[in-house]
Structure 1
Amino acid sequence: MTFAFFLGAGNIIFPPQAGQLAGDHLLSGMLGFLSTGVTLPLVAIIAVAVAGGWQGMTRDLPSKVATFLAVMIFIVIGPAFAAPRAGLVAYEMGVKPFIDNAGQLSLTLFSIVFFAIAMFLSRSRGNLVDMVGKFLTPILFLALIVLAVAVVMDPQDAIAAAKGDYVDMPFLKGFVEGYNTLDAVAALLFGMVIVDAVRGKGVTDEGATRKYLIYAGLIAAAGLTFVYVSLFYLGATSVNIAANATNGGDILAIYVAALFGPAGQMILSLIVLLACLTTVVGLISACADYFSTLTRWTYEQWAVALSVACCVVANVGLNQLITLSLPALFALYPIAMALVILTFIRRWLPNPTLSYRVVLLVALSFSMIDAAKVAGFNVHAFEIIPLFDYGMAWLMPTAIALVITCIMGAKTAKSVEQKSQTA
């Protein structure tokens, strides 16, 4: 179930394009992508397990700040972007190729049916493991295995030279491209759903719950690695056959058609529809579960409301939605990464409250620079910041803030200890 939740729209459409651009720097670019697309989500899942949930991860922040941060993440990861994007990708790649003269009406009708199914599956949260984990995921993974084997056995092109930023800094470019999967942010939310699913199976011991949560994360990470490696290689060997493709979805569609002929579109449609549906179910479940704790609305009511909202937003169109959402991704990802790191090193922080508040504030401040740059604003005044050109202006200031707060915290603790001994 966890693997299926993570494997959604971004996981399918972005790796092929990244692989095509990485070319002969495939390995470095892929390792960078795997860092934010696999390693970080796994670490985030483990952090949720270690901290005992969102409240444990944010206990050193003011409660209102922690709630606001969670609400913003849930909105972006849910009805504002990730869930509608998954529905749009399902339509563009899974249904639209079979419709003549597809237009707004066909998109609207598909959105209604797609999110109605997602709503039905989400409302039955007690059976999520059975419905998604036992039935949908095996079908999805089998289709992906068929595609991966075909790509390795019959690559359609030779690997060409790297392009763009992949020429000089392939790892960092791949690292930033991994933001598009949204998985590191989603992991903070899916962790809650997985915990509920484990408890729904009768596991009440906290230690056992953490253990199963980590196991689920490891299985999901292994599955995602398999998918990304095969899709990166697919992209790297598509330079000529998909030379005119405008995005990763086009690359994948052209490649699959070359491998399997007319049956290829059916295989691709099955993969995309299942991947996007399971992800939307996970996102709606996570959002509904959290929002029901903040309001008088029940989980079921929130599942319905969120499904309707996703259906409405999905009708904006895929390209417009991706353009509008990129700044939010660049703003949120650094905060998620900083929070995960702080969760793991909390026990060694001299003053956790100081470190959490300062480090997250610095991460947010500098991530907004990266977000403004992606949005098209003129931020050339900040070019002196290391890694600014690669969309990671937040990294060095955040690391420096962590070091400074540790030093300040240690001095404060030492001063308090000396005063107590004197007294």
Structure 2
Amino acid sequence: MKQTLSLSQYILVGSMLFGMFFGAGNLIFPVHLGQEAGANVVPANIGFMLTAIGLPFLGIIAMGVSRSKGLFDLAGRINTTYAHFITILLYLSIGPAFALPRTAAVSFEIGFASHLDSSLQTVCLAAFTVIFFLLALFFALKPGKIIIWIGKFLNPLFLIFLAVLIIAAFINPMGAPSAMPVQSAYQQEALTKGIIEGYNTMDALASLAFGIIVIHTLSDLGLKNPKDIALGTLKAGIVVLVLMGIIYSSLSYIGATSLGQLALSANGGIALADISTYYFGSFGHILLAGTVTVACLKTAIGLITACSTTFSELYPHTLSYKSYVYLITFVSFLISNVGLTSIIYLAIPILMLLYPLAITLILLAFIDAVCGYHRYIYLCTTVFTLLAAIGDMLGALPFGLNEIAAISSIIEIYRNTLPFFDIGMGWIVPAVIGIALGTVLTFITRK
């Protein structure tokens, strides 16, 4: 018998999905994309939404249809060593290496950076991050009703303010996007550049890490069959897909129009703060800063808790949950002090390595659901994708590291060998070859 949920239950799950995927960090990337894309904002935004919205929900559905118990279980179908590798790297990326430090850095950039002299930025950032992570540490050690309170009251306040800002920008735009300059990265390949920018949200990675939460929620509500769970996730996600699409499109539009009155910013946090001040003055900036900071704090508490729980359960003979909380919080504090722009630059190479592996793992889960499990397809696809993704990672190294002679020589080999390498998608053809080779090997071994 086919199972289904009521409309209110789908809205409940949809709200949970939105809360999981849309944080304050998701605000800064579409704004900055709009500023850089200028007149090419439409194709850039379409590409951004493909990876920032489409992939996360495919990841959630893939976890549902794969019948796996989580990321480690799904990746374990390739190899146990690989399962440890991608689980650790993925959780470090959405945790203390990038996403967690970014929560504090975004809060500081939006709330305080624009009001401080450049000579005070370093000291004030350190003081702010100390307070921010001490609060996160306190609640991660003893999580209580504060997270629920923030989710029920401050997130809606944040979304209301965002809606007011978007409406104000549409009623009184700073300029016309079609008249805005286009930065070099968006002049030729705006769509593919937008796709790469969507990696920065890290939501596709998070979907593999937290997809099991959605599965359990739907199961508790009465859905047991994997097909029903996948369909239920899709239905619950439709409203969220539309809502996030509207928000991303609006923010990228605002970013593009802002160039009519504001200069190109170093990152989206600075741009959003300047745009808010332009429309609402100091009061609007203070309100935005407060809601963003608290939203980021909630996200930080959740990430510290999730990462600490995962590592303490995956490796029970290493550190306790509390020890992981202290360690992850301290590392996040240190990295947050390099600044938001540097965190974004440092994250890009790792994301260029992780995203192809995450995308192919999602694809393999769907192939598994349709055709059954075939280890050679999993193995060949992943090996070929990994080898190619290493090249994409080297090509994206920041601060001139990709111009070092030895690294540059390796990059040149990739460039001359792999199609689409120059647009950051050199992994696509190897992944297809891996699937084809795995299929052939499966056929031969069975015969």
TM-score range, shorter chain: 0.7 to 0.9
> Per-residue deviation at 1:406?
1.8
Distance 2:237 2:260 in 1: 37
Is contact 2:150-2:295 (8 Å) kept? no
CA offsets per residue over residues 3-49 of structure 1, 9 Å max, x none? 33423454222211211232333221111000001110111122223
Under a length normalisation based on structure 2, what TM-score does the superposition of the two structures give? Answer: 0.83
Partners of 1:290 and 1:278 in 2: how far apart?
18
Q: Which moved more, 1:104-113 or 1:175-184?
A: 104-113
Alpha carbons of structure 1 residues 68 and 233: separation in structure 2 relative to 1, 3 Å: same
CA shift for structure 1 position 210: 6.9
* CA deviation string 1:193-225 (max 9, x = no partner): 5567x49x9768755987776666555544432
What is the alpha-carbon distance in structure 2 between the residues aligned to residue 182 and residue 225 of structure 1?
Answer: 16
The 1:262–1:392 alpha-carbon spacing in structure 2 relative to 1, beyond 3 Å, is: same
Shift of 1:359: 0.8
CA deviation string 1:329-365 (max 9, x = no partner): 1111111111111111113447621111111111111
Cα pair 1:144 1:271 within 8 Å, conserved: no
Structure 1 counterpart of 2:131, which letter?
Answer: V
SS of the aligned residue for 2:396 comes to: helix
Alignment of 1:96-111 (within 5 A): 96-98=113-115, 102-111=120-129
User: Does the CA contact (< 8 Å) of 2:111 and 2:273 recur in 1?
Assistant: no
What is the number of equivalent residue pairs in this alignment? 412
- CA contact under 8 A between 1:140 and 1:274: conserved in structure 2? no
**C-alpha distance in 2, partners of 1:187/1:321?**
21
Contact 2:36-2:264 at 8 Å conserved across structures: no
Task: Confirm or deny that 1:94 pairs with 2:111.
Answer: yes
Please tell me whether residue 291 in structure 1 is matched to residue 311 in structure 2.
yes
CA distance in 2 between counterparts of 1:13 and 1:30 reads: 13
Q: Which residue of 1 aligns with 2:27?
A: 12
Secondary structure of 2:263's aligned partner: coil
8 Å CA contact retained: 2:111, 2:290: yes
Q: Select between 340-349 and 117-126 the one with higher mean Cα deviation.
A: 117-126
Q: Which residue of 1 aligns with 2:78?
A: 61
Deviation at 1:182, TM superposition (A): 1.3
Where do residues 348-367 of structure 1 align in structure 2 (5 Å cutoff)? 348-349=370-371, 352-367=374-389
Which residue number in structure 1 is paired with residue 393 of structure 2? 371
Shift of 1:267: 3.3
Q: How does 1:134-149 map to 2 (within 5 A)?
A: 134-149=152-167
Residue identity matched to 2:396: V
Following the alignment from structure 1 to structure 2, what is the Cα–Cα distance between the partners of residues 330 and 128?
A: 35
Partners of 1:273 and 1:368 in 2: CA distance: 35
Q: Which residue of 1 aligns with 2:96?
A: 79
Structure 1 partner of 2:367: 345
2:180 corresponds to 1:157: no
Tell me if structure 2 keeps the 8 A contact 1:13–1:252. Answer: yes
The amino acid across from 2:415 in the alignment is E
Name the CA distance, whole Å, in 1 between partners of 2:231 and 2:153.
24
2:282 to 239, 251, 262: 262
The alpha carbon displacement at 1:260 in A equals 1.3
Give the Cα separation in 1 of the matches to 2:341 and 2:334: 16
- Could you say which residue in structure 2 is the equivalent of 1:383? 415
2:429 counterpart residue number: 396
Deviation at 1:170, TM superposition (A): 1.8
Q: Is the 8 A contact 1:21 1:236 kept in 2?
A: yes
Greater Cα shift, 113-122 or 68-77: 113-122
- Structure 1 unmatched runs, 5+: 416-423
Residues in 1 aligned to 2:249 and 2:356: alpha-carbon distance in whole angstroms: 24
In structure 1, C-alpha distance between the alignment counterparts of 2:124 and 2:436, rounded to whole Å = 54
Distance 2:252 2:223 in 1: 40
What SS class does the counterpart of residue 261 from structure 1 fall into?
helix
Residue 372 of structure 1 and its aligned partner are, at CA, apart by 0.4
Counterparts of 1:260 and 1:173, CA distance in 2: 32
Q: Deviations over 1:39-83 (max 9, x none)?
A: 101111222233342244224122232122101111122111111
Distance 1:271 1:219 in 2: 24
Give the whole-Å Cα distance in 1 for the aligned partners of 2:312 and 2:247.
Answer: 34
Once residues 96 and 239 of structure 1 are traced to their aligned partners in structure 2, the CA distance between those partners, rounded to angstroms, is 20
Indicate how the Cα distance of structure 1 residues 97 and 373 shifts in structure 2: closer, same or farther if over 3 A, else same.
same
Q: 1:409 maps to what in 2?
A: 442
Tell me if structure 2 keeps the 8 A contact 1:386–1:393: yes
Percent identity over the alignment?
32
1:42 equivalent in alignment to 2:53: no
Deviates more, 1:391-400 or 1:214-223: 214-223
Q: Which moved more, 1:328-337 or 1:344-353?
A: 344-353
Describe the superposition over 1:291-348 as per-residue Cα deviations: whole angstroms up to 9, x where unpaired. Answer: 1212334444433332232122212333333332221111111111111111111134
Asked if 2 retains the 8 angstrom alpha-carbon contact of 1:96 and 1:102, the reply is no
1:183 alignment partner AA:
D
Q: Is the 8 A contact 1:77 1:83 kept in 2?
A: yes
Residue of structure 1 equivalent to 2:6 = none
Unaligned runs of 5+ in 2: 1-15
Report how far residue 233 of structure 1 moved.
0.5
Partner of 2:37: 22
1:97 Cα offset (Å): 3.8
What TM-score comes out, normalization by structure 1 length? 0.87
* Greater Cα offset, 225-234 or 245-254: 245-254
SS of residue in 1 equivalent to 2:359: helix
Question: Cα gap change, 1:282/1:403 in structure 2, threshold over 3 Å: closer, same or farther?
Answer: farther
The residue number in structure 1 matching 2:357 is 335
Alpha-carbon distance between aligned partners in 2 of 1:225 and 1:205, rounded to the nearest angstrom: 27
CA contact (8 A) 1:122 1:284 kept: yes
Q: Distance in 2 between matches of 1:215 and 1:135?
A: 26
Whether the 8 Å contact between 1:193 and 1:285 is mirrored in structure 2 is no
